[in-house]
Amino acid sequence: MTSKTRANLFIGLGCLALGLVVAFIWVPLDTDTGLIEKVRRRVSIGDALAPTIAAAFVGLGGLLLLLSERNAEVQPFPSRNNLRFVLFFLVMLVIVFGVMRWAGPFAVQLTGSDEPYRTLRDTAPWKWIGFALGGFGLVVSLISAVERRLRLRTVIIGVAAVIALIAIFDLPFDDLLLPPNGDV
């Protein structure tokens, strides 16, 4: 076992332990509400939802690092291909976040509506336009970059991911604005 592999195993174990401690000890002791709160027939996000989801992602990342290091070969310092991919990823994030931020207001302008986007940002379908286009673009572009080709399966995954996120985070909550609508 090389020192890099050993370090990755320690990092993976640390992230997995941190995720478990945060999710099952820190969050319950530190928050007054649960993951989801229902008060007078109104469902809203509790104080524990965001840190619990973050802890789950940290733990999942640690678990994936542990699993990937079982048969890993030692790689040299990042190659030009790695740096190109990181640059592509950063450029894609800028483009996708721009689409996410401006697609909704642009769509309202195209319809010639007398209402400004700010007043429509919590009504269907306006509230989903930027999130759906940006999220779809992010998922499809990143999968296509990793696979080095665009496939119908990738497009279906992008659509399914956006629909699932809207169904999980927007539909059950009356007072939640999907990104970027809270900033517009």
Q: For the whole model, what pTM was predicted? A: 0.65
Percent of the chain scoring above 70 in pLDDT: 91
CA-nearest of 184, 131, 119, 181 to 159 is 131
Q: How confident is the model at residue 110 (pLDDT cuts 50, 70, 90)?
A: very high
- Helix intervals (H) in the chain: 3-21, 27-30, 49-68, 80-111, 117-120, 126-147, 152-169
Lowest mean pLDDT of 101-115, 129-143, 163-177, name the range. Answer: 163-177
